[in-house]
Chains A and B, each alone.
Chain A
Amino acid sequence: MAIPENARKYWRANLKYLAVLLLIWFAVSFGCGILFKDFLNRYSLGGFKLGFWFAQQGSIYVFVILIFVYVWLMNRLDKKHGYNEK
C-alpha cells in the first residue's frame, strides 16, 4: 500500500514533536525530581529545595505547559498539511 507523501511527512513531523516533548517530560520529572534531586537540593527556590520543588510542584506545571504546546504545534501542523477541520 502506497502511503501518500503528505501523510508520511506529517507523521514524521509528529514523531519529532513527540520525541522533543517527551524528552522534556522525562527530564523534569525523572531527571530533576528523582535522579538529580539530591544535587538540585543544594540550590533553593524561595523556601523550597530545588529538587523537592521539581518533584512536588515544578514537574506538574511543566506537564500542563507541555500538553498545551503540543496542542498548539499539532494544530499548526494539521493546517500545514491540510488536515485541519473547521
Chain B
Amino acid sequence: MSVQLWTWILVGITFALYFGIAIWARAGSTKEFYVAGGGVSPLANGMATAADWMSAASFISMAGIISFAGYDGSVYLMGWTGGYVLLALLLAPYLRKFGKFTVPDFIGDRYYSNTARTVAVICALIVSFTYVAGQMRGVGIVFSQFLQVEITTGVVIGMAVVLVFAFLGGMKGITYTQVAQYCVLIFAFMVPAIFISIQMTGNIIPQIGMGGRVEDGTYLLEKLDSLHTQLGFKEYTEGTKSTWDVFAITLALMAGTAGLPHVIVRFFTVPNVKDARKSAGLALLLIAILYTTAPAVSVFARTNLIETVSNQEYTALPQWFKNWEDTGLIAWSDKNGDGKIQYVNGEATTGKPEFTEARGASGERLIANASAETNELYVDRDIMVLANPEIAQLPAWVIALVAAGGLAAALSTAAGLLLVISTSVSHDLIKKQLKPNISEKGELMAARISIFVAIIVAGLFGIYPPGFVAAVVALAFGLAAASFFPAIVLGIFDKRMNKQGAISGMVVGIILMLFYMIRFKTGLIGVMEPLPASEWWFDTSPEGFGTVAMTVNVIISVIVSRLTPAPPESVQEIVEHIRIPSGAGEAQSH
C-alpha cells in the first residue's frame, strides 16, 4: 500500500477515536467544562498533561532544531523538562490546594485585588495567543503535507476539528481526548526511532544507540563530529552559543514552562494534593520518553542526511530528496557546476529559497537567491522528523504513522490553549469582573462562544502569519517567565508579598520582555531591521531575556512589597492554608 493510503487510514482511525471520546465525555456543568469535574486520575492526568505540553514544536521541530544545532539544542531538552521540576516542587501542590479554576483566580485572590486579576488575565491571553498561533500553523503544515492540500485548507480543517471537540467536551472531553492523543503521538515518535536505531547501531533503545558504535566500530557521535569537522561545521557535541546565553535560555524556558497557564491548569483537575504531586511526576516521565529519544533521532537524522547527500550526484539521489524539493523545503543550487551536492557550513541562500519555474542542468529546481557562499544545500529544519523515516527507507505505514502523530501533537496542544483562552474570557473576565451574577448556563455559553472566537482568530494567525509570529512563539516562554512565574512562587513562599509588589513586578516584567522581544526580533521600535546580536543587552539573546526580565520582576516585587503595608490577615491565612496539603476538597468555582 502507498504512503498516501496508509496516511488516510491512520489519520481516519485516530480522528474517529478522538471524536468518539469528545462525544462520550460531553460537559454538563461549568466545573466539568473548566476542570473536568476535578476527578481525573493521576495517570490519565499525566498523559493529558504530556499531550497538552508536547506540541507540534516538540514533535516535529525539536529534533530537527537539535539536529542542526547540536549541543546548543540542549537548551530545549533541559529547559522544557527542568521546568516540570519547578512546577512539581514549587507550584502544583499549592495551586491544587488553593482549588480554583485558573491562574488569574489565584493571583486575584492571593493579591486581594481585581487589578492583579486583570493583569494576570492579560498576561494569560498574551502568552496563550502567541503560543496557539504557532500551533495552528503547525496543524496546517502537517495537514497540507500529508493530505496534499493547500496550507490554508489545512488550517481550516484543523480549526474545524479542534472546534468540534473543544466545543463539545470542554476540559473533560479535552482531557480524555488528550490521553488518546498521547498514546498516538508517543507510538508514532518511538517506532521510527527504534527502527533507525537498530539500522544504524544495532541497539533497540535509541537513547543507548545514540552513544553506540556504527558498523565500522567507531562511536556514532565521534563519527558525526568528524563529519562535521570535515564539512567545516562546528563539532556536533560542542556549541556555538556563549555559556551565559545557554544558561539564560535554559532558565527562561524552565520558568516559562512552569508558568504556562495551560499546563498549570492541568493540576486543578486531580482530586487532591497528593495526586497533584504524583501527576506532575507521571507527566514528566511520559514527556521524558520523547525528550530523551529526540536527541537520538537528531543524531541519526543528521548522520543519515550528511551521508546520503554530501558529494553525491544530484541525479543519483533517492526520491525523497526530490519530493521535499518539490515542496520547497529542500533547495539545491549547483554553484560550481559539477552536478554534485556540496554541503558545507554556511548559508546556501539569502533567506528562504525563492524558486524560479525553470529547471537546471541536472533537473533541479533553480533558485533566484543563491548566496555567494560555497554551501549549495538548503534544508528546512522542520522536515527532519517527517523525512527521517523516508531517508532511512522505512516501510510506508511508519511514514504515515508520523503524520498521525504530528497531528495528535498539534491538535492536543491547540485544544488545551484554546480552553485557557476561553476560560480567561468567560470566567476571569465576564464572571469575575463584568457580570458577576451570570448563570452557570450563561457562563458555559460564554465559554463556548469565546472558544469559537478564539479558534477563528488563531486560524487567521495560522493562515496569514504576521512576519513576527514564528519568531515570537519561542518567546511565549519568556513572557510567562517574566510575568506569572515570580508572582505565583512569591505568592506561596513569601507571606509578606502584597498586591503592590506583585502587580508592579508583573507589569514591569512583561513590558520589559515585550519591549526587548519587539526591539530585537522585529525591529518595530526605533529601527526598521531587527538589531544584530552585538547590540544585545548583557549579551543575552531575546530567547534568554526572560531570565533577565524575571529577575527584574522578583527584585521589584520584593522591594515594593517591603515599602508598602503587609497583606491583610485573611490573605496571610490563605497562604497558611495552601501550605498544608490536607482538606483540598473539590475544585471550587468561588
Q: Which residues of A does B touch, CB under 8 Å?
A: 1, 3, 7, 10-11, 14, 18, 21-22, 25, 29-30, 33-35, 37, 41, 45-49, 52-53, 55-57, 59-61, 63-64, 66-68, 70-71, 74-75, 78, 82-85
Contact B82 A29 (CB under 8 A): yes
Max chain B Cβ within 10 angstroms of own Cβ: one of A25, A29, A60, A75: A60
Q: How far is the CA of A11 from the CA of B292 in the complex (A)?
A: 34
Q: Known contacts being A1-B572, A57-B292, is A67 close to B280, with CB within 8 Å? A: yes
Chain B residues numbered 276-306 whose CB sits less than 8 Å from any CB in chain A: 277-278, 280-281, 284-285, 288, 291-292, 295
Contact B281 A68 (CB under 8 A): yes
Contact A33 B74 (CB under 8 A): yes
Residues of chain A with a CB closer than 8 A to B78's CB:
29, 33-34, 55, 59-60
Chain B residue with Cβ nearest A10: B580
Contact B237 A34 (CB under 8 A): no
B222 sits at the interface (CB 8 A): yes
B569 sits at the interface (CB 8 A): yes
27 A-B residue pairs with Cβ-Cβ distance under 8 Å, sorted by A, are A1-B573, A14-B579, A18-B89, A21-B89, A33-B78, A35-B243, A46-B208, A46-B212, A47-B210, A47-B220, A52-B74, A56-B66, A56-B77, A59-B81, A60-B81, A60-B288, A60-B292, A61-B288, A63-B82, A67-B281, A70-B281, A71-B281, A74-B274, A74-B277, A78-B582, A82-B582, A85-B272
Contact B272 A64 (CB under 8 A): no
Contact A83 B580 (CB under 8 A): yes
B90 sits at the interface (CB 8 A): yes
B519 sits at the interface (CB 8 A): no
Q: Mostly helix, strand, loop or mixed at chain A's interface? A: helix
Residues of chain A with a CB closer than 8 A to B569's CB:
1
Instruction: Scan B370-392; emit 1 where CB is below 8 A from any A CB, else 0.
Output: 00000000000000000000000
Ranked nearest first, the 9 interchain pairs of A and B with the lowest CB-CB distance are A47-B219, A55-B74, A47-B211, A67-B281, A83-B582, A56-B295, A46-B211, A52-B237, A48-B211
Contact B237 A67 (CB under 8 A): no
- Cross-chain contact of A59 among B82, B219, B583 (Cβ < 8 A): B82
B71 sits at the interface (CB 8 A): yes
Q: Which residues of B does A touch, CB under 8 Å?
A: 66, 71, 73-74, 77-78, 81-82, 84-86, 88-90, 93, 207-208, 210-213, 219-222, 237, 243, 246-247, 250-251, 272, 274, 277-278, 280-281, 284-285, 288, 291-292, 295, 569, 572-573, 576, 579-584
- Cross-chain contact of B295 among A29, A30, A57, A68 (Cβ < 8 A): A57
Interchain nearest-CB distance for B64 vs A (Å): 15
Q: How far is the CA of A84 from the CA of B584 in the complex (A)?
A: 11
- Cross-chain contact of B277 among A37, A41, A48, A71 (Cβ < 8 A): A71
Contact A18 B90 (CB under 8 A): yes
Residues of chain A with a CB closer than 8 A to B82's CB:
25, 29, 59, 63
Residues of chain B with a CB closer than 8 A to A60's CB:
77-78, 81, 288, 291-292
Q: How far is the CA of A18 from the CA of B92 in the complex (A)?
A: 14
Residues of chain A with a CB closer than 8 A to B85's CB:
21-22, 25, 63, 66-67
Interchain nearest-CB distance for A61 vs B (Å): 7
- Cross-chain contact of A1 among B280, B576, B584 (Cβ < 8 A): B576
Residues of chain B with a CB closer than 8 A to A67's CB:
84-85, 88-89, 277, 280-281, 284
Contact B250 A56 (CB under 8 A): no
Contact A48 B581 (CB under 8 A): no
Interchain nearest-CB distance for B84 vs A (Å): 7
Contact A56 B74 (CB under 8 A): yes
Chain B residue with Cβ nearest A68: B281
Q: How far is the CA of A42 from the CA of B580 in the complex (A)?
A: 46
Chain B residue with Cβ nearest A52: B237
- Cross-chain contact of A34 among B73, B207, B208, B250 (Cβ < 8 A): B250
